[in-house]
Amino acid sequence: MKKVALITGANKGLGFQTAKELGQKGIKVLIGARNEERGNNAVSELKNEGIDAEFVQLDVSDTASIKNAVDTIESKHGHLDILVNNAGMIHPNESWEQNSVNSLTQDVLRATFETNFFGLVDLTQQLVPLIKKSEQGNIVNVSSVLGSLAEATNPESDYYAVKPFSYNASKAAVNSYTIHLATALKEDNIKVNSAHPGWVQTDLGTEHAPLTVEEGARTIVDLALDTTDKTSHFEHLGQPIAW
């Protein structure tokens, strides 16, 4: 049975690169994207490279969209082997340069968590029954070192001063979900891990980032393809990051 992977936010950037590399391994890749035109353009580009790709309309901030996507995957494929929760955002009212904890509004906080956390949990919960049908399931939550409480409280860390509150808090919540879900699924041969891709040249990371999308996708792809007992890990290029 051919392996099937769903990658959210896969029409560009890290999601697209992850889909491309998984597809090059012979895995059928489902391109989760909000925008149908952009999603189908990504599928066409992948198909032109000989990759088995399919568009799935998916807005992780919309419960109805999530349910429709899960129903589509179940009816067409009947199982899921790999889930890469890549979709994420930093709110335009936050910036990497300022500590926003005393200035952000509840709307900013809720909007950030809706995409980065609540939608991720909702989608994953609904897909777990399909992942349980895999011989080995892999769930990769694309997090960030900015979600590390250890780094956030270490004045010697390069990331100590980077404090957009809602973004960082949402990624810390994702890490907590990784730990809890990994424990819940430990008897089901489903591995759950958090990936820090690094500071990557994407719309989110900006052109000032030092890593290419190929370099950034490496950690995500490695965890998605991992066949060991590795679970409840938070890492970058195979190196652990303190929670």
pLDDT digits (tens, 9 = 90+) for 9-63: 999 999 999 999 999 999 999 999 999 999 999 999 999 999 999 999 999 999 9
pLDDT of residue 201: 65
Half-sphere exposure (Cβ direction) of 31: Cα atoms closer than 13 Å:
29
What the chain holds in terms of domains, given with CATH numbers, is 4-240 (3.40.50.720)
Residue 177: active-site member: no
* Annotated catalytic residue, options 28, 163, 167, 177: 167
Question: Measuring CA to CA, which residue among 11, 84, 6, 91 is closest to residue 43?
Answer: 11
Residue 211 in this model has a pLDDT that exceeds 80? no
SS3 178: helix
What's the pLDDT tens digit per position in 89-135?
999 999 888 999 999 999 999 999 999 999 999 999 999 999 999 99
Q: Are the C-beta atoms of residues 133 and 76 closer than 8 Å to each other?
A: no
Residue 123: other Cβ atoms inside 10 A:
24
Residue 230: active-site member: no
* Annotated catalytic residue, options 28, 171, 177, 191: 171
Cα distances from 66 to residues 57, 177, 184, in angstroms, run: 9, 18, 22
Q: What is the pTM of this model?
A: 0.95
Beta partners for 183?
A: none
Question: Where residue 204 falls among pLDDT bands split at 50, 70, 90?
Answer: low
Kindly state the average pLDDT of the residues 178-197. Answer: 97
